[in-house]
Amino acid sequence: MVVERNEDTKASLRQAAKARRAALPAGERAQAAESVTQLFFSEPRFGLAQVIAGYWPLVDELDCRPILLRLLDDGRTVVLPAIVRPHGPLQMRVWEPDAPLYPAGFGTLAPSELAPHAHPDLVLVPLLGFDGLGTRLGYGGGYYDRSFAEREGRPLMVGVAYSVQEFDAIPRDEHDIALDAVITETGIRQFGGR
């Protein structure tokens, strides 16, 4: 069955992606986060978004917090995802400057469950890997796919990664949402004509 083979391949790619990412020295990671931040704000299309979903980075994910803090300084709305139930969609909670953050599932942080919710125009998507077609290799929970599966009103999906996370090909299942773009320290790649 194709889905089973895809899952085996994805599991193998996840291991390789984690190893690639973990091998990056801390200085390169910090420099990459700075480059990605500059690139994000240089793209006019991204400047149109008023509600942007980010993420609180896990151990060695590319740190998008510099982007989020600048967006807050610009007066835009930033939301962070929270897992409220297994296999459910993510809840996008508005992050106010200086508001405390709490464990939100999967080892990440988000605002309190009392924070307002908002639907983003653009989502900065964490990932383990990506390919030249905009296929995203996530952690396998399917949270982003379930949360943004609707085509109507779907936000711009922008992967944030190190260039070493690119693979030649990643299997894409029917439920997998493709990225519209990915930003690495080497530049912005656009996919799919959105």
Domain extent listing, the chain: 2-190
Q: How far apart are CA 56 and CA 84, in angstroms?
A: 16
2-190 — its CATH code? 3.40.50.10420
Name the nearest CA neighbour of 180 among 128, 133, 116. 133
CA dist 131 → 11, 20, 60, 67, 99 (Å):
15, 15, 20, 23, 36
Q: How confident is the model at residue 140 (pLDDT cuts 50, 70, 90)?
A: confident
Q: What is the pTM of this model?
A: 0.91
| Tokens found for residue 191 | 């996919």
The pLDDT tens digits for 36-86 are: 999 999 999 999 999 999 999 988 999 999 999 999 999 999 999 998 888
How would you list the strands of the sheet with 187-190, edge to edge? Answer: 90-94, 77-83, 51-53, 122-125, 156-160, 181-184, 187-190
Q: How far apart are CA 65 and CA 109, in angstroms?
A: 12
Q: How far apart are CA 52 and CA 122, in angstroms?
A: 5
Q: How far apart are CA 143 and CA 145, in angstroms?
A: 5
